[in-house]
Amino acid sequence: MSQHLPALPVIVPLLSALLITMLGWFKPRLSFPIALAALTVALLSAVGLMGRVLSSGAAAYGMGGWNPPWGIAYHVDHLNALVLIAVLAAALVGLIATRKCVKEEFAERIVPFYTLFVLFVTGLAGILLTGDAFNLYVLLEVASLTGYALIGIGEKRAPLAGLNYILMGTIGASFYLLGIGYLYLMTGTLNMADLAQRLPAVYDSHVVALAFFICLTGLFVKMAFFPLHGWLPNAYSHAPSAASILIAPLTTKVMIYVMIRLTLTVFTPDYAFDILDIGNAIVWLAVIAIVMGSALALAQNRLKHILSYIVVAEVGYMVGGFWLGNRAGMTGSILHIVNDAAMTLCVFLAAGALLTRIREDRLAGLQGMFRKMPLSMAALAAGGLSIIGVPPTCGFFSKWYLISGGIEAGHYGFVAALLFSSLVNVVLFFRIFEIAYFEPLGQGHGHHRNDPSPMAEAPTSMLAPLVVVAVLLVVLGLYSGNLVSAIIQYAIPAQII
């Protein structure tokens, strides 16, 4: 049984999707427990995988008994075990927290909702574990299609935002497929480890360079890297809050993982940083992404729009940190994948909690929220402080690595962009806190001081996970040193210093 551990995070959610659909005909109420059980098993096996990687190093697993390079191989190492745990944990917490929300928003349609969601997690877990470039495309589409549906299932502007997301997302995925096609033409293989062995012989070919650029462009669309971010803000802010809580922390992070995997494992750092030498150019693109993401966030007046543009800026952090090409930058980038998953989950969850009690997320409507929903606002504040990068929270530590990577590489534009974005985040969040701290003005009678708006917190099933995530931000911060020394330093190839 234990040798099949790498397959479990994918197989269990996949089968549970089938189970939810079939049992859903008779007992829709069973959907949630099944999804919960499936994700718990997946998370536990991911933790088991991590334990195995820590004790005996990276390992490959031949799906269905077919050995690589002919069969589809799953490959587990420090990098994807870490991201897998982060993704599955975020999905599990999101699932628990949105239970009430889903019931209210979807009523009759909870069976399709949970089916789509476990399939979404299947896709993401598969992307993280697979060692086959084409299999990655298929799982990418599994995750994307379910993501489109989860966003488009909502009301109001959600279907239109979902449709735009489909058009952009399909272009992105197709570009990736095309790039993989070029690689297949040059090498005759699709297995990542095999590709890495055969590619050095054809490094001087323009086709390989083109394949690299096309794959990278496709992934940039998928991760919403600045000029290609068009789909993200509307999709995330108009989606039903249950869907945005579940999707926002996960998709972009997993796409950044794919970029790192492709560059480090398939093309090797020698090719990306020395032969093509595009690191500097991409860091400058990341600088633009960070600055523009932050500036556009400043121009918004709705909470979820602001948070979505912050996600766009954060993607710039991770891409830029990785392409600095030194150990500190990459450490920061990988650490930020984990931290940003937690931070994004925290702020979107807090926004979802606020939206259970107020109709709209316009900033002006947040007046008096500190009194009305103290715990949710405190969690939003914790998430905000972490995004700004205030010391004990985890956001500080990854930003510290990113900045020291930037200084080490002599890339002061990146350092300046990070500081600028932190300042903008300070302005953004303190504007929200300021509005939320003051009571709404009374209706002209002048005795509003005597009847403060009563406390009306979000349901406990949502509040408890939210508080846990907010506390986790600090815990992650305190243990980030251990995280780096025990896991992340092994995820980066030894040749990078």
Partner 1 sequence: MNEWIAFLAGKFNYWGFIVLMMIGIYAIIAKKNLIKKIIGMNIFQTAIILFYVSTAAKRDAGIPIITHGHGMSGHSARAVDYINPLPHVLMLTAIVVSVATLGVALTLAVKVYRQYGSLEEDEIADSIRARAGGDQ
Binding site for partner 1 (CB under 8 A): 134, 137-138, 141, 145, 148-149, 152, 156-157, 159-160, 162-163, 166-167, 170-171, 174, 177-178, 181, 184-185
Length of the chain measured in residues: 497
Q: Are 480 and 379 contacting, i.e. CB atoms less than 8 angstroms apart?
A: no
Report CA 357 to chain centroid distance, whole Å. 26
Closest to partner 1 by CB, 163 vs 298, is 163
Closest to partner 1 by CB, 137 vs 226, is 137
Burial of 365 (0-12, 13-18, 19+ CB in 10 A): middle
Closest to partner 1 by CB, 148 vs 309, is 148
Closest to partner 1 by CB, 177 vs 469, is 177
- Distance (Å, whole) CA 111 – CA 430: 40
Identify the DSSP state of 67. Answer: P
Q: Minimum CB separation from partner 1 for residue 135, in Å?
A: 9
Q: Minimum CB separation from partner 1 for residue 360, in Å?
A: 9
Cα four-point dihedral sign 396, 401, 404, 409: negative
Closest to partner 1 by CB, 63 vs 349, is 63
Closest to partner 1 by CB, 144 vs 294, is 144
- Distance (Å, whole) CA 105 – CA 147: 17
DSSP codes, 3-54: GGGGGHHHHHHHHHHHHHHHHHTT-GGGHHHHHHHHHHHHHHHHHHHHHHHH
Closest to partner 1 by CB, 62 vs 181, is 181
Q: Minimum CB separation from partner 1 for residue 148, in Å?
A: 5
Closest to partner 1 by CB, 79 vs 183, is 183
Residue 384's identity, in one-letter code, is: G
Closest to partner 1 by CB, 195 vs 334, is 195
Going from the C-alpha of 309 to that of each of 172, 249, 302, 349, the distances in angstroms are 20, 13, 11, 16
Half-sphere exposure of 96 (CA within 13 A, CB side): 19
Strand partners, 191: 132
Closest to partner 1 by CB, 62 vs 459, is 62
DSSP codes, 79-124: HHHHHHHHHHHHHHHHHHHTHHHHHHHHGGGHHHHHHHHHHHHHHH
456: number of Cβ within 10 Å: 11
136: number of Cβ within 10 Å: 23
Going from the C-alpha of 200 to that of each of 51, 93, 414, 492, the distances in angstroms are 33, 43, 31, 20
Closest to partner 1 by CB, 156 vs 447, is 156
Half-sphere exposure of 496 (CA within 13 A, CB side): 28
Q: Minimum CB separation from partner 1 for residue 304, in Å?
A: 16
Cα–Cα nearest to 338, from 354, 314, 359: 314
Radius of gyration, CA atoms only, the chain: 22
